[in-house]
Structure 1
Amino acid sequence: MEELPIKKRILFFVTEYLLLGVLWLIFLTCKKSYNDNKLPPYPCEVLFWHNRLAFMCFAYKKWWKSERKRDGKVIISDHKDGEIITRIVSHFGIGAVRGSSSKGAFKALKGAFNEINNGIDIIITPDGPRGPLHSVADGAVVIAQKKDLEIYTLTYEADRFWEFNSWDKMRLPKPFSRVNFAMSKPFKVTDMELEVAKEKIKNELFKAENDNKF
């Protein structure tokens, strides 16, 4: 990302720490639970819907840092919104591969392949960064197929939450709510046609939501 003017750098800094503080304050008031599924000892692909982005840093602390002590990197767009997300997730030890299906797709794929070769998991919101809601971008399939990766879905459900009027219907748990985090069992799409694989991924993500609802 090109060097920002001083006013924008200040705005980014304030936004970064304000959002980070809000997320932590809400998270600390909530009652959390996590299912028993685990990630493998080798690189994999992890997918979650864009509207579950808000609390996924806390899932990372559980499944990567606390249990596995390995690293994963998130594919994040080169847009300005992506810069804010990159800064926030860095506080949780999460790295970023910059680029997306709408901007910098080749760079994102190349970066993802390099990280996998280095033993790093790739984490993707398949309908990000700009939707449509609950769509699956080709990149999620291409990465998994080219590297013959196991895929895991990740989600959280809250018994009380705000749903924002954004394209992704972003969900943020309310303070003092109950939040269930869930990692799926693995599946593969290696030998599937592109559209069949995308439908498989979509169904697995919806299944994770339905199985984890209150």
Structure 2
Amino acid sequence: MRDLFRQAGIIVIPVLVYVIMRLLWVTCRKRFHNLSEIDESQHVCVCWHGELLMSPQAYRKIHPEHKASAIISSHFDGSLIAGTLRFLKIRPLRGSTKKGARQVLLQAFKSIKAGEEVLITPDGPRGPRHSMSDGAIGIALKSRLPIFVMNYQPSSYWQLGSWDRFVIPKPFCRIDFYIQSLSLEGMEIEEAKEYLKEKMLEHTVI
């Protein structure tokens, strides 16, 4: 019976989450701040786990037709995220850079070779919040791609008590999106991790 409820949840919950995402997107006033030029060139794309409600929609606003995939954990909550992102035409790569790292990284490099952009939450799937895993940095350095950073700050919001302090903008608020492209060329991995973390924390809800 429990498995039956889980399977039903995997079908129903993503639909409900997507409807909520779209309602918030339509009702909220949005301002986009391009901190650097973003064109249609290929990137590795990142946002914090706590900003997953709106950041993928911002990605699709800026890159409406670009083929994309996202590294998503194989846990149950990952299945819900994967089901939701499919509505945005973002293909899931199941696994994480902590568990099953080799397999999911191979999938990511195959996606990049096929011309897709890969989306990653550096502090996912289980935190700690605003930590920086090696995954996004390693993929960007090895593939020699820049990083596409997506952050947002709502003028009014709810914040859950979960490990990622998940941010839910309130309807009809103003949302400021901060978008930037960062080059990691010439950096060592630890230097790149510190640099990316610093940039991602500049325009996020603390």
TM-score for both structures, normalised by structure 2: 0.91
1:30 corresponds to: 28
RMSD between aligned alpha carbons? Answer: 2.0
Once the two structures are superposed, what CA deviation does each residue of 1:15-49 show, in whole Å capped at 9, x if it has no partner? 22222222222222111122345533332111111
User: What's the secondary structure of 2:115's corresponding residue?
Assistant: coil
1:59 corresponds to: 58
User: What's the secondary structure of 2:182's corresponding residue?
Assistant: coil
1:110 corresponds to: 106
- The answer on 1:167 being equivalent to 2:163 is yes
Q: What is the alpha-carbon distance in structure 2 between the residues aligned to residue 195 and residue 89 of structure 1?
A: 30
Q: How does 1:1-214 map to 2 (within 5 A)?
A: 5-36=3-34, 37-65=36-64, 69-184=65-180, 186-209=181-204
Of 154-163 and 192-201, the range deviating more from structure 2 = 192-201
Aligned residue pairs, count: 204
Q: What is the alpha-carbon distance in structure 2 between the residues aligned to residue 122 and residue 92 of structure 1?
A: 14
User: What's the secondary structure of 1:157's corresponding residue?
Assistant: strand
Q: What is the alpha-carbon distance in structure 2 between the residues aligned to residue 149 and residue 137 of structure 1?
A: 17
Which runs of no fewer than 5 residues in structure 2 stay unpaired?
A: none
Are 1:153 and 1:208, in contact at CA under 8 Å, matched by a contact in 2? Answer: no
Superposition deviation, residue 78 in structure 1: 0.9
Superposition deviation, residue 9 in structure 1: 1.4
Are 1:64 and 1:72, in contact at CA under 8 Å, matched by a contact in 2? Answer: no
Amino-acid identity (%): 33
User: What's the secondary structure of 1:154's corresponding residue?
Assistant: strand
Superposition deviation, residue 103 in structure 1: 1.8
User: What's the secondary structure of 1:42's corresponding residue?
Assistant: coil
- Cα 1:140–1:13 shift into 2, 3 Å: same
TM-score for both structures, normalised by structure 1: 0.88
Are 1:144 and 1:190, in contact at CA under 8 Å, matched by a contact in 2? Answer: no
